[in-house]
Amino acid sequence: MPTLVNYSGDDELYSGASFYQKNLIDLGRVCTLGSSVDGYYCSPRKRARISAPDIFETPRLRKDQKPTIEVLPNECLFEIFRRLSSGKERSSCSCVSKRWLMLMSSICRAEIYKSENLTEGSASCDDEMASVDDDLVIEDDGYLSRCLEGKKATDVRLAAIAVGTSARGGLGKLSIRGSNSARGVTDVGLSAIAHGCPSLRSFSMWNVSSVGDEGLSEIAKGCHMLEKLDICQASSISNKSLIAIAKGCPNLTTLNIESCPEVGNEGLQAIARSCPKLKCISIKGCPLVGDHGVSSLLSSADNLSRVKLQDLNITDFSLAVIGHYGKAIVNLVLSGLQNVSERGFWVMGIAQGLQKLVSLTVSSCRGITDASIEAIGKGCIHLKQMFLRRCCLVSDNGLVAFSKAARSLESLQLEECNSITQFGIIGALSNIKTTLKYLTLLKCKGIKDIDVEASMFSPCESLQHLSIRNCPGVGNASLTMVGKLCPKLQRVDLTGLYGVTDAGLLPLVQNSEAGLVKVNLAGCGNLSDNIVSELARLHGRTLELLNLDGCRKITDASLVAIADNCLLLKDLDMSKCAITDAGIAVLSNANRLTLQVLSLSNCSGITCKSGPSLTNLGQTLVGLNLQNCNSIGCNTVELLVEKLWRCDILA
């Protein structure tokens, strides 16, 4: 049996383990001994009188010499790393250097030599390589989600994410918004994600010009579970990427392609052939996309329920395909289709294929006319939401004809449809009097006051939400008519109607049978305290939100009426009103009032004297806006911030 001789003359035998534990520190060396050595014969009391062999000495490195393991080529390190048994070990090693991190991120899950414990955590990298836990979110369906924006978006961070999340079951959702200008995301970063995150289900990339087909093709090869793909402003992505996605990701359900000038029909046709589970598509601003690509998608995807086509070079043919094959489409958005004529929309309507269509949005399309919108109303029998924006060729006749056909319509929104007048609106209300719940008119310059007897039209008993914003021609006559025809209103938004006075709003306030809940009168500068007092008296038991921003004739008298009557009011905006400290004091003394949000911006009559009143109101407030209240000093604001620590204060 091998022994070590103690030259001091003392004979004593020690076991190998005991020797190693007791004398390792004394020797100052690390040595590895074979398992066949059972004991050592040496003195525990005196140092050895001979030098240890060279094999036990730690080699001294020259200043210009790298650590020994760094001399190993990447192939050897790769073999070492893939034999690490747990994700925690691999993640810890990845923090040693960028070289180790990038090598670790190149290891595919299938190449790991031993099975790992997926429940173990991962070590975080240093500041330069990014912490894996930064902005890490667990989605409702249980998988990990990560979003990189701006300077945080680099290849090193992606590599760290790929290595770190693998120990937790893998990344499920990744979003990249922009890129670091100096060290931005490239194909290398996406390759790391592809190797380390095979469970990736959702990938979104916006405004990253340095990534090309190679990177996205790696995602397609490594992430076969991908379901959602969102690519925006990627000038280097072409059909090659979509073909790779189609081949490697058959479970794709959502595809969003925007502002990708190199993507065309060939890529969309590949998606149509290989992704039968596709449910949602959105294609915007891709000049090479035409009828062949769009029609292939629409005719092949039987489960397609949501479609958005914007700023594309498609013609009537594509809309005819939608009309015939869009049997599963529920939501359809068509915008900026300059090459589609009236015939295209007309055929889409009469084809009778959009039987399940519930929501339709048409914006800036010259093909929408009176004839085509009537055909859509007749063909889409279950349509509930209609939004027309900048459709200047639709007139009163078309709107009335559409409303007669669309018997299931619940929401109608018109924006900058300047050929429609008050007659068209009132006619539509009378035709859809039992189903219409929401009516929105935005910047419709054709609607102007006309004296018409309300008795000539049937009332719309179903309308609950009315929004008329920035329509300069709407005045007292129009509001009087609406007030008489719509007795069930609960939410009213009249933003920017500076021509309306108390006389025009009073019939609407008095005829509302259900009780007004939310009222927005911002910018209605000709309203006075009288209408606010009447509103508070008649609807104080239901009113929850009142916005009087910019109503410069409103004074403390309105605050008195609000304090006395509005028991349920939660949100009050008195910005730019002629209120003073006295009004705030009255509001503060209303015991039953439990305001949560109060805005007093640009109220020059509010001074430091309101400090105690605001402190009292602050017992229930979660938001207080004092911006541009120049008569309130900094000391008062600081005191409010200190006392109302639960309230967000803007000053």
Spatial distance between the Cα atoms of 161 and 193, rounded to a whole number of angstroms: 8
Let me know: does 444 contact 471? Beta carbons within 8 Å. yes
Q: Which residue has the higher pLDDT, 310 or 106?
A: 310
Q: What is the pLDDT of residue 71?
A: 60
Q: pLDDT value at position 179?
A: 75
The strand pairing partners of 16, in sequence order, are: none
pLDDT of residue 48 exceeding 50: no
Cβ neighbors of 76 (< 8 A, separation 6 or more) are none
Would you place residue 14 in the very low, low, confident or very high pLDDT band (cuts 50, 70, 90)? Answer: very low
Q: Where are the alpha helices (DSSP H) in 109-212?
A: 155-165, 187-196
* Identity of residue 285: G
Average pLDDT of the chain, as a whole number: 83
Distance from C-alpha of 304 to C-alpha of 288, rounded to nearest angstrom: 22
Task: Answer with the residue of higher pLDDT: 85 or 145.
Answer: 145
Spell out the residues 6+ positions from residue 227 whose beta carbon is closer than 8 angstroms to its own. 201, 202, 249, 251, 252, 253, 254
Is residue 110 predicted with pLDDT exceeding 90?
no
pLDDT at site 38: 39
At residue 64 the predicted structure's pLDDT band, cuts being 50, 70 and 90, is low
For residues 335 and 421, give the distance between their C-alpha atoms in angstroms, rounded to a whole number.
23
Which pLDDT score is estimated for 94? 55
Q: Is the pLDDT of residue 46 over 50?
A: no
Structure confidence at residue 88 as a pLDDT band (50, 70, 90): low
Q: Which residue has the higher pLDDT, 183 or 599?
A: 599
> Which of 7-16, 168-177, 365-374, 486-495 is least confident?
7-16
Q: Does residue 63 carry a pLDDT above 70?
A: no
Q: What is the CA radius of gyration of the chain?
A: 36
Q: How confident is the model over 424-441, as a mean pLDDT?
A: 93
Instruction: Read off the pLDDT band of 474 (50, 70, 90).
Output: very high
Q: Supply the pTM of this predicted model.
A: 0.79
pLDDT higher than 80, residue 136:
no
| Higher pLDDT among residues 51 and 476, named by residue | 476
Q: Is the pLDDT of residue 163 over 70?
A: yes
- CB neighbourhood size of 474 (10 A): 25
pLDDT, average across residues 276-305 = 95
Residue 174 has a pLDDT of 93
Q: What is the predicted pLDDT for the residue at 178?
A: 85
Q: Kind and range of the H or E element at 508?
A: helix 502-511
Give the dihedral of Cα atoms 505, 509, 510, 516; nearest 10 deg: 170
Q: What three-state secondary structure class fits 255?
A: strand
Can you give the pLDDT at residue 50? 35
C-beta of residue 409 within 8 angstroms of C-beta of residue 386: yes
* Domains of the chain, each with CATH number or no CATH: 71-106 (1.20.1280), 543-650 (3.80.10.10)
Mean pLDDT across 393-416: 96
Query: Average pLDDT, stretch 295-311?
Result: 94
Confidence category of residue 35, pLDDT binned at 50, 70, 90: very low
Tokens 């005719």: give the residue: 299
pLDDT recorded at residue 83? 59
pLDDT at 90: 56
pLDDT number for residue 458: 81
Give CA torsion, residues 346, 350, 356, 362, to 10 deg: 10
Please give the average per-residue pLDDT across 554-572, as a whole number. Answer: 96
Give pLDDT tens digits for 218-261: 999 999 999 999 999 999 999 999 999 999 999 999 999 999 99
The residues facing 571 across adjacent strands are 545, 597
pLDDT at 10 over 50: no
CB environment 513-522: b (16+ within 10 A), e (fewer): eeebbbbbbb
H or E stretch covering 418: none
- pLDDT confidence bin for 129, thresholds 50/70/90: very low
Reference 242, options 420, 154, 262; nearest CA is 262
pLDDT at position 156: 81
The pLDDT tens digits for 170-218 are: 789 999 998 767 778 899 889 989 988 889 999 999 999 899 999 999 9
The more confidently predicted of residues 391 and 108 is 391
Query: pLDDT band for position 455 (50/70/90)?
Result: low
What is the average per-residue pLDDT within 379-389?
Answer: 97
**Cα–Cα distance measured from residue 44 to residue 25, given in angstroms and rounded to the nearest whole number:** 13
Task: Please say whether the dihedral angle defined by the alpha carbons of residues 422, 424, 430 and 435, taken in this order, is positive or negative.
Answer: negative
Task: Give 155 or 622, the one with higher predicted confidence.
Answer: 622
Comparing 104 with 322, which gets the higher pLDDT?
A: 322
Question: 600 with 574: CB under 8 angstroms?
Answer: yes
Whether pLDDT at 404 is above 50: yes
